[in-house]
Each structure stands twice: as C-alpha cells, then as structure tokens.
Amino acid sequence: MIRFRGRVRGLGLPGAVLLAVGTGVILHVRRTLVRELRQLRRVAAAAQNAVLRPLPSCIGGLDVGAVQLSAEPGAAIGGDLYEVVATEHGVRAVMGDVRGHGIGAFGTVAAVLGCFREAAYDEADLGGVLRRLERALDRHLRREHPASVAEEFVTLLLVEIRADGEMAALNCGHPWPYRLSGTRVEQLAPADPYPPLGVFPLPDVVSTVGLGHLPPGDALFLYTDGAQDARDARGRFFPLPFVLASVAREEPLAPQAILRGVQSALADHSDGTPADDIALLVLRNGACMPSGARGCADVRLRRVGATSHDAPAADNPPLTPP
C-alpha cells in the first residue's frame, strides 16, 4: 500500500489521490478499448472468412491453392473474389474483380459469391450461372448504390473443369488464365471477352468457349489484374508470365509453391505494398483425382457455339523461361 506523508513534491494529499485515481481510470479505459478492439477484429475476421472462405487443398480431384492481397491496410478482403466448388457438372471456379478496392467493395463481393455458390450447383451450363450472377449483381447495385449503379461493374471469369480434364469458360472483361505444363507457360485466350457485368446487359446468346485440356500434373493459374498491372519504382509492369515460368522451373507445380513464388516476386517488384487488390488461384490436375469421381463422371464437355474458339489463339505462343 502506498502511503502519502505530507506533500508529494508539490502535490498535496488530495492531488496525489486524484493523480492515482486518474491513472487507474486511464488504465481501465485502455484495457477496455484493447478488449473491444480484439473482439472487433475477431468478428471482422469471422465475417471475412465467411465471405471469402479458405479453400480446401483438394476439390473434386483438383489440387487447389489461393491467396488474396488487399490494397487496404488491415483488411483481409478487398474487391477481388474467388471460389471453387465441385458439382455434378464438374469443378466450377469463379475469379472476379469488383470496381474499386478495399472495404468499400466488400458488399458486392459478398453478393456475387453468395449467388455463385448456389447457381454453380443448380445450373446445367456456365451460361445459366453467368445470367444468375448478372441478376444478383443488378439487384445488389440497385439496392446499395442506386445513385451510381451505372458506374459499378465486376469483371468475372467462370471456368469449368471436368474429370477428363476438358475445360470450358466464360469471360466478362477479366484476364484470361495461364496453363502451366512443367516449365511451359501458356496464356489461354480463345476469344474476346464479354464486357464486365454491370456495364451492358448480356447478349441473348451466351457462348461458352473451350480452354482445351488440363492433363494430369498441369496447373491452371487464375488471377486479377492487380497482379499484371503492379508496377515497380520505375513504372515497369510486373512480368507475370516470365515469373510463372521461373517459378515452375524452380518449384514443383504444387499450388502453394506457385503461389509463394509469385507472391514473393510481387512483393519484391512493388516494394511490398500493392496499389490494387490482388487475388491468385491455382487449380492443378493432381494425383488426388479419383477415377470416376462422384459428380464428375460421365459428363461431356458442352461447347455452345464454340468453333475456332476450341484452341488457344495462335498469337499467344507458349512461354518458356530464358
């Protein structure tokens, strides 16, 4: 117990008591604020995980890895989105980029992902999934952003991979993916994409295009434009295809190894702080794919109106590391 005798260096006994009480109040308030901040962080982390939930390492016979880098400090989720689900129609994945970044795009990300997680199971073809996403986005924007609905949009890439490795896709203003086969890196760009969702209505006929075949051991790399548009101090863009080739040469084509290599190169290139949200997703036809996997067997690739789109364009040659 502290005992005060007489005056304490200019403070009388009442002043010393007030000082002690004030210090106690400050410490109590600080402890309360720290507890509340920790609780808010736990709630925010739970909400973010519920929206952009962590993906298992194997989905429908594919090895899976994903990472999201937010441009807003302290945010685990920004304006980029991804999801992978195994359905009776094949493994379906979505990669998207909401206009803007950070917490402000969180509601649109939630609306799009919530719709995809239902439509991917219900719709027999990717065109039906895309139309469902368009309607869900329109409802969300008219409810949440009625004054600026014409200025909001989302780029989307829908991919379907069947048990035999055949791939189909629909693209709305999003970067096309890369296929990694050993050290061979090839961007798959079979057709011009549709406009981003929200800019114009979808056409009456939505044609799914083929992305070719994903043999066992090969990987598909999906990303948002924050990766290819990242710049260094001299204004140079991030050389994504050559980094992928270098990573594939030095590492096995395991999703987490690919992600670590690209993420490390991005941090070095942009000095550790991305100017825009970045999402990366790797789907590898791995050894965990069972023969006749449930929900993937006896399903044939449906190409709607795909003719010359069946193979990658000739002006996108494979890349090999120097």
pLDDT tens-digit series, residues 56-114: 999 999 999 999 887 665 555 668 899 999 999 999 999 999 986 556 677 888 899 99
From residue 272, give the alpha-carbon distance in Å to each of 84, 99, 239, 275, 309: 28, 22, 16, 10, 38
Residue 306 banded pLDDT, cuts 50, 70, 90: very low
Q: How far is residue 90's CA from residue 133's CA, in Å, rounded to a whole number?
A: 18
Q: How far is residue 206's CA from residue 154's CA, in Å, rounded to a whole number?
A: 17
Looking at 73-77, 144-148, 202-206, 297-301, which range is the least confident one? Answer: 297-301
| pLDDT on residue 4 | 46
pLDDT tens-digit series, residues 270-286: 887 777 889 999 999 98
| pLDDT on residue 31 | 78
pLDDT tens-digit series, residues 147-162: 555 568 999 999 999 9
| pLDDT on residue 304 | 28
| pLDDT on residue 99 | 80
Cβ(129)–Cβ(85) below 8 Å: no
Instruction: Please state the separation of Cα 179 from the chain's center in Å.
Output: 18
Domains and CATH numbers, the chain: 54-310 (3.60.40.10)
As beta bridge partners, residue 193 has none
pLDDT tens-digit series, residues 128-184: 999 999 999 999 888 766 655 556 899 999 999 998 999 999 999 999 999 999 888
- Which are the contacts of 140, defined by CB distance < 8 A and separation ≥ 6? 107, 108, 111, 112
Cβ(167)–Cβ(92) below 8 Å: no
Both tokens of residue 220?
Answer: 């598909």
**pTM of the predicted model over 0.85:** no
Q: How far is residue 213's CA from residue 301's CA, in Å, rounded to a whole number?
A: 11
- Which are the contacts of 284, defined by CB distance < 8 A and separation ≥ 6? 62, 63, 64, 217, 218, 219, 220, 253, 254, 255
